[in-house]
Amino acid sequence: MGSRHRTLSHLTRRDAMALGLGGAVAASALFRTTSVLAQSNLQWGSSSVGSTGYVIMEGLASIVNRHSDLQNTSMATSGGAENMQLFKEGVIQFGQTTSTDWLPAFSGRAPYPEPIEVHQMFAYTLFNCTPMVRADSDIQTIEDLVGRRVMPSPAGSSTAVLFEVLFEAAGILPEVEWTYGSWRETYDALRAGAVDCIPSLLTNGRPAPIMTELMSTQPVRILPISEELMRRAGAINGGARPGVIPAYTIEGATQDMRAASFSGVLAAAPEVSEEVAYTVMSAVFDNLEEVRSLGVQFQDIDPAFGAANLVDGYPVHKGAARFFKERGLWQDGMVEAE
């Protein structure tokens, strides 16, 4: 499964099919509807069942149902990469994406067969997916990964894109042994010593269950990320951004750690009307106490966070733009969709 320098830019259409993107074409024949269109029955794309993205999309769709006249349903998908293609095929009107998805989607880079336009609504959390090794590893820095086995979760995933960007910024992208697999396969591989480096998986410093499970049996260590490295990574893909992993999260850590991260971004199809998008924004942010009561996954949802962690230079839906402007949260770098 591993291969030297099998970067995302070298993924083929078959890789895209393996990610489920090709399935979106067939699915569109079943799910495409002209009512987007009518703007009342709205389909949301989430992520794999039980994942953070799945839980958040399910919860937000239910909140909008309770606090508006819109009817929303959420469908499980393989995540941001598939959702981008589902937008293209007209299957979904809202859905989970991550900030690293926007550059390849808009430019038509692999795993996307052609450019895709969607519009940003708001950011809902920050995923800390920074390089992580076993605590007993001799690897101390990202540069030490030259010639080592790195498994950044599934090929074409947001985390794999982040790792490619990060390693390009570090100048070692062609010199790493890449291999890919599901999150379960990735974490099991590090535990077994089959790979040398995998991503952490936290949301704004809160470990995901799979990471907590790993740390209970295998001590791990986060590799240091410099401010300069994150600056260079952000220049390559604006969705790469710094986060923080609190020291108490990782056994043996003595101080908070800078983490390579990306934001989770709710996206909307361009066909969604301004009024519908504004209604979704209002239903979520006017009921924050209820939203946050849904669970720890929803604690980052806030209008200021939602605006600050969008991806500069990519269109913000007119309904979301109107909401942010009314709240005084519109920022330099934001672009209102036409």
| pLDDT value for 33 | 41
Does 1 score more than 70 pLDDT?
no
CATH 3.40.190.10-classified regions of the chain: 10-125+265-336, 128-262
How much is the pTM? 0.84
C-alpha to C-alpha distance for 323 and 303, rounded to whole angstroms:
9
- Among candidate residues 228, 243, 236, 163, the one with its CA nearest the CA of residue 195: 163
Q: Phi, psi at residue 48, to the nearest 5°? A: -65, 145
Does 19 score more than 60 pLDDT?
no
C-alpha to C-alpha distance for 203 and 299, rounded to whole angstroms:
10
* Each residue's pLDDT tens digit, 66-123: 999 999 999 999 888 899 999 999 999 999 999 999 999 999 988 888 999 999 999 9
| pLDDT value for 51 | 85
| pLDDT value for 40 | 67
Lowest mean pLDDT among 2-16, 185-199, 293-307, 311-325: 2-16
Does 26 score more than 60 pLDDT?
no
pLDDT band at 39 (very low <50, low <70, confident <90, very high): low
- Among candidate residues 38, 59, 203, 194, the one with its CA nearest the CA of residue 126: 203
Does 17 score more than 80 pLDDT?
no
CATH superfamily of 128-262: Periplasmic binding protein-like II (3.40.190.10)
Looking at the chain, the whole-number percentage of residues with pLDDT higher than 70 is: 88
CA dihedral 123, 261, 167, 227 (to 10 degrees): 110
- Among candidate residues 131, 123, 130, 129, the one with its CA nearest the CA of residue 99: 123
C-alpha to C-alpha distance for 162 and 266, rounded to whole angstroms:
18
Distances (CA, A) of 220 to 57, 186, 190, 203, 295: 30, 14, 9, 17, 27
| pLDDT value for 132 | 97
- Among candidate residues 258, 324, 4, the one with its CA nearest the CA of residue 145: 4
C-alpha to C-alpha distance for 101 and 82, rounded to whole angstroms:
10
pLDDT band at 7 (very low <50, low <70, confident <90, very high): very low
Give the burial class of 192: count Cβ atoms within 10 A of its Cβ; 0-12 exposed, 13-18 middle, 19 or more buried. Answer: exposed
**In this predicted model, which residue has the larger pLDDT, 49 or 43?**
43
Q: Residue 195 is which amino acid?
A: V
| pLDDT value for 49 | 87
List all residues 6 or more positions away from 327 whose beta carbon is below 8 Å from its beta carbon: 303
CA dihedral 62, 240, 197, 219 (to 10 degrees): -60
- Among candidate residues 92, 89, 87, 55, the one with its CA nearest the CA of residue 73: 92
CATH superfamily of 10-125+265-336: Periplasmic binding protein-like II (3.40.190.10)
